[in-house]
């Protein structure tokens, strides 16, 4: 569902007696569904919670035993990677993999705190920047407005966006842009219709300023 642009497709499939399994990495995606679509789907929600730190530690340590030479990655560093992963097993495994590569490039016999810290910092920076880089110039302009105002109603935000841009998009395209930014986790929304409000969810994501035309 994170990739879906037109949620009306769900309504058409549901009304055509299709059995649907909807998968999303962001729980708030379902909040964008209209009452018409939600009632047609008759959803049963199943949540897969994030891993706990001790669970991540067991997962990462198990992989390390197969991928690293004995003694080349200390258990205390695996624990640090488990905490830094924040419940995401893929992130935890990527931390130890990249840290191991760094140690290998430096001709070290074992991973040190230096390689671990560098890898964690790099991944944290990438996690912040990547969603923002997926936005077009109109979405970046909307994000900039929200970043300054922190929180605005949908109507006021659209008016400020139209004032800023020489060739603003129509209202429907604007709503699609907002839906995508919510799905990316950059902004949060609450309320419905004219009462809908948006606020910033992620800061410090921009690599450079966007030049508006």
Model pLDDT for residues 61-97, shown as the tens digit of each residue = 999 999 999 999 999 999 999 999 888 898 899 999 9
CA angle in degrees (0–180, nearest 5) for 138-201-181 = 35
CA distances from 172 to 5, 6, 168, 182 (A): 12, 11, 11, 16
- pLDDT at position 118 is 93
In this model, does residue 133 exceed pLDDT 70?
A: no
* pLDDT averaged over every residue in the chain: 83
Domains with residue ranges and CATH for the chain: 8-41 (no CATH), 53-130 (1.10.8.60), 134-200 (1.10.10.10)
């Amino acid at each position: 569902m994170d990739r879906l642009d037109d949620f009306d497709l769900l309504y058409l499939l549901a009304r055509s007696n299709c059995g649907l399994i909807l998968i999303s990495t962001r729980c708030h995606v379902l909040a964008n569904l209209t009452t018409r679509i939600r009632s047609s789907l008759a959803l049963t929600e199943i949540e897969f919670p994030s891993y706990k730190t001790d669970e991540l530690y067991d997962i990462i340590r198990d992989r390390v035993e197969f991928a690293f030479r004995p003694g080349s990655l200390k258990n205390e560093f695996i624990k640090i990677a488990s905490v830094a992963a924040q419940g995401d097993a893929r992130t935890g495994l990527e931390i130890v993999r990249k840290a191991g590569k760094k140690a290998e490039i430096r001709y070290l016999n074992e991973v040190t705190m230096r390689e671990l810290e560098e890898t964690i910092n790099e991944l944290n920076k990438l996690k912040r920047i990547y969603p923002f880089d997926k936005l077009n110039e109109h979405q970046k302009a909307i994000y900039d407005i929200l970043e300054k105002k922190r929180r605005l109603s949908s109507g006021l935000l659209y008016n400020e966006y139209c004032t800023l841009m020489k060739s603003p998009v129509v209202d429907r395209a604007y709503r699609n842009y907002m839906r995508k930014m919510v799905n990316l986790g950059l902004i949060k929304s609450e309320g419905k219709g004219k009462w809908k409000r948006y606020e910033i969810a992620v800061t410090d994501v921009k690599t450079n300023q966007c030049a508006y035309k």
